[in-house]
Structure 1
Amino acid sequence: MTGFGIGLAVSAAAVVLLMAGTFAVARKAGKHSVVDVSWGLGFAAVALSSLAVATGNGTRSVLLAGMVVLWGGRLAWHIGRRNAGHGEDPRYSELLSKAPPERRTAYALRMIYGLQGVLILVISLPVQVGMHADAELGPLAVLGVAVWGLGLFFEAVGDHQLQAFKSDPANRGKVLDRGLWRWTRHPNYFGDACVWWGIWLVAAETGVGALTVLSPIVMTFFLTKGTGAALTEKRMAGRPGFAEYARRTSGFVPLPPKQR
């Protein structure tokens, strides 16, 4: 518990520094959407900070850190490339419109940077706890890596397919229903959920790590009901062909498409 407490403090400090730096960049850029890049980087910062003070099984600690850094680094790179050259995200404009102009800076610090920082610390608890347990790697860790790998595949390939689809002017106003998007309307979000359930499985093998199950549950909730799939579907609802696509395609878990 002492090791975990130190690790949590170090991780919290890393997240605070990252979010403070992100806020400074956002002020200079004139848009808060740069914080989306720091979402993946925040988890990577927690993983590396926790690894620096880890007291548990060294192999598991390195494995957990590698899984998180690879996932977080890829996600940050993808979002940074996708958002380059674009203005403010409408989500943040709508959120900040709820506060008076003179209070928007404080409101942004609390509701965007502070909230995301807290979520990073909560969702990354399996990593922090798993790095301070001495249990050897076993079958559950192997299963966790497999689930994580499946999730990373769905997320990376889904993002690539969507980016390629959007880059073709001929697809403007159309709905992507090919590749992984033929099996699920949100392969990237499904993959994201699998990544964190896989990380939890690796940590759960230690016994005490199983108690952090709330972390992947929170991540899955936000991916399905929060700012992930639900918000995307609301935005896509009026697009021609989306209703038919939604009728034949699974909403989250990949399944064979229904017959037209």
Structure 2
Amino acid sequence: MIAGVSTLFTYNAFVLLVFILGWSFYAFRKKNYSLIEIGWPLSLVFVVWTSFLLFGAQSLYRRLLVLTVTIWGLRLAFHLYTSFWDKPESRRYARLRADWEGKLSGLKAILVLVVGPLLVYYIISMILSIGFLDSQAVLAWWQYLGIILWFLGMLFEIGSERQLKKFLSKEENQNQMMTKGLWRFSRHPHYFGTALVWWGIYLISIVNWNNLLGILSPITMTLFAIFQATKSVSEREFQEREELQSYKEKTSQFLPFSSQLGRGFKLIFGGLSKATKASAGAVSSAAQKAKESRNKEQEDEMEVAIEDNQLDTEIVESETTVSFVDDIQEESMEEDLLDTMDESVIDNEESSDLFVDQSEILTEKDTSEEIPDLTDIEIPIDETFEETTEVTDEDIDELAEEEISEDDSVFAEKEDLLDSEHNETV
């Protein structure tokens, strides 16, 4: 198996190299770089027929592989032949020749127009080698899909080329852009058709997992087609025109309908984006309002707390002031009370001294006074009385007691007077 792969790759590489070098030499001799393009599709036809001659076409998918590659290559080569043979060099290659004028111009042409594409086409030819390594009696579903893709690609190539040829055949369109037919869906439908053809050929070549490596062929052809589309001379010539800008906005460069799909997706996702932004804005606004409300509540709470603190401070200060005043008043009252008590004590002491002095005086007076001897008292006898009463000792004692009682009442009145003065003073 490995020996077969290496042998087939070697043969195909040799065929490709010899054919391209020979054809390029002819184009250089004719001083027409455009003729090189005719050789590229023909080179792949030579490669697939080399594989056919080495391994045969016993399987149906091998015959399909040879048939699809041969039809595509010969048709495209014929189209390029009718476009470039015995005609002036195309504008694209004429511009390249002008840019390379001078030293090493031939080497630059060989590297750009021969060596680079030769490597690309060698990678593309891989499926023409791998596809002949196995055999299969019945086609799989993906091989039928490959036939469909190949057919659609051919329609794009043939249809776009014929539409363009018809458009340019009219004198009024010589300096105009082609924007109708298939060109309305892609600015380079023929390159897209070429890529589609090779994706179909790749699906036809798949028999088992060994053929999956051949996916490099359609990928390389697709990238090469896109590269050729970006080097379009017509777009460079019309790049300053407004119609080209409008055409670019409406039409994709390579993939058909991608601009329309892009606008559709843009509208859909744009609407979704607007809705999402509006929803996000509403949520953000609600969150902002809630945040502002919370901040407002916090500010109000802080203001209330500050007012309460101020009120508490005022109350504390007032209570402190009142307490201080009360303390001062209490201290003043205590001092006044102490002074009053001191004065009262002094007055009491003075009153007591006075009372004691008066008591002593009264006592001395009472003691100094002697009870008169009533025996010496002469009692006058009323002459009117008819008879005289005899004075006895009992009568004398009663008189003495009456005198003592009168003295005691006088002493009690003096004590009451002193007590009242003392109470008034207190």
TM-score by length of 2: 0.56
Equivalence for 2:110: 109
Between the aligned partners of 1:240 and 1:82, the Cα distance in structure 2 is 29
Query: Once the 2 structures are TM-superposed, how far is the Cα of residue 56 of structure 1 from its aligned partner?
Result: 7.6
Equivalence for 1:38: 39
Equivalence for 1:150: 152
- Matched ranges for 1:194-233 at <5 A: 194-224=196-226, 226-227=227-228, 229-232=229-232, 233=235
Query: Is the CA contact 1:148–1:199 (under 8 Å) kept in the aligned structure 2?
Result: yes
Query: Once the 2 structures are TM-superposed, how far is the Cα of residue 85 of structure 1 from its aligned partner?
Result: 3.9
- Matched ranges for 1:119-158 at <5 A: 119-136=120-137, 137-158=139-160
Query: Once the 2 structures are TM-superposed, how far is the Cα of residue 46 of structure 1 from its aligned partner?
Result: 1.0
Query: Once the 2 structures are TM-superposed, how far is the Cα of residue 26 of structure 1 from its aligned partner?
Result: 1.3
Please tell me the residue identity of whatever aligns with 1:121.
Y
Equivalence for 1:7: 8
Equivalence for 2:183: 181
Instruction: Report SS of the residue matched to 2:55.
Output: coil
Higher Cα Rg, which structure: 2
Query: Is the CA contact 2:12–2:50 (under 8 Å) kept in the aligned structure 1?
Result: yes
Between the aligned partners of 1:256 and 1:32, the Cα distance in structure 2 is 33
Query: Is the CA contact 2:179–2:247 (under 8 Å) kept in the aligned structure 1?
Result: yes
Between the aligned partners of 1:93 and 1:103, the Cα distance in structure 2 is 17
Alpha-carbon displacement from aligned partner over 1:97-147 (angstroms, at most 9, x marks no partner): 676745333443333222222221111211210111224421111110110
Going from structure 1 to structure 2, the CA distance change for 1:74 and 1:56 (only over 3 Å counts) comes to: closer
Between the aligned partners of 2:202 and 2:237, the Cα distance in structure 1 is 31
Between the aligned partners of 2:96 and 2:176, the Cα distance in structure 1 is 28
Query: Once the 2 structures are TM-superposed, how far is the Cα of residue 94 of structure 1 from its aligned partner?
Result: 5.0
Between the aligned partners of 2:65 and 2:166, the Cα distance in structure 1 is 31
TM-score by length of 1: 0.88
Aligned length: 257
Between the aligned partners of 1:239 and 1:66, the Cα distance in structure 2 is 43
Please tell me the residue identity of whatever aligns with 1:46.
V
- Which range moved further: 93-102 or 27-36? 93-102
Between the aligned partners of 2:238 and 2:207, the Cα distance in structure 1 is 40
RMSD of equivalent CA atoms: 2.4
Between the aligned partners of 2:50 and 2:117, the Cα distance in structure 1 is 18
Alpha-carbon displacement from aligned partner over 1:152-210 (angstroms, at most 9, x marks no partner): 11111111111111121111222212211122222111111100111111123432111
Please tell me the residue identity of whatever aligns with 2:115.
G
- Which range moved further: 56-65 or 26-35? 56-65
- Matched ranges for 1:14-25 at <5 A: 14-25=15-26
Identity, in percent, stands at 28
If asked which structure has higher relative contact order (CA below 8 Å, sep 6+), I would say 1
Going from structure 1 to structure 2, the CA distance change for 1:239 and 1:206 (only over 3 Å counts) comes to: farther
Please tell me the residue identity of whatever aligns with 1:123.
I
Pick from 165, 173, 176: which aligns with 2:167? 165
Going from structure 1 to structure 2, the CA distance change for 1:210 and 1:57 (only over 3 Å counts) comes to: farther
Query: Once the 2 structures are TM-superposed, how far is the Cα of residue 240 of structure 1 from its aligned partner?
Result: 5.1
Provide structure 2 residue ranges, at least 5 long, that are not aligned to the other structure. Answer: 264-426
- Which range moved further: 121-130 or 245-254? 245-254
Please tell me the residue identity of whatever aligns with 2:167.
F
Is 1:83 aligned to residue 91 of structure 2? no
Query: Is the CA contact 2:24–2:114 (under 8 Å) kept in the aligned structure 1?
Result: yes
Provide structure 1 residue ranges, at least 5 long, that are not aligned to the other structure. Answer: none
Going from structure 1 to structure 2, the CA distance change for 1:2 and 1:256 (only over 3 Å counts) comes to: closer
Going from structure 1 to structure 2, the CA distance change for 1:21 and 1:142 (only over 3 Å counts) comes to: same
Instruction: Report SS of the residue matched to 1:73.
Output: helix
Between the aligned partners of 2:20 and 2:166, the Cα distance in structure 1 is 31
Question: Between Structure 1 and Structure 2, which shows a larger proportion of helix residues?
Answer: 2
Between the aligned partners of 1:217 and 1:98, the Cα distance in structure 2 is 30
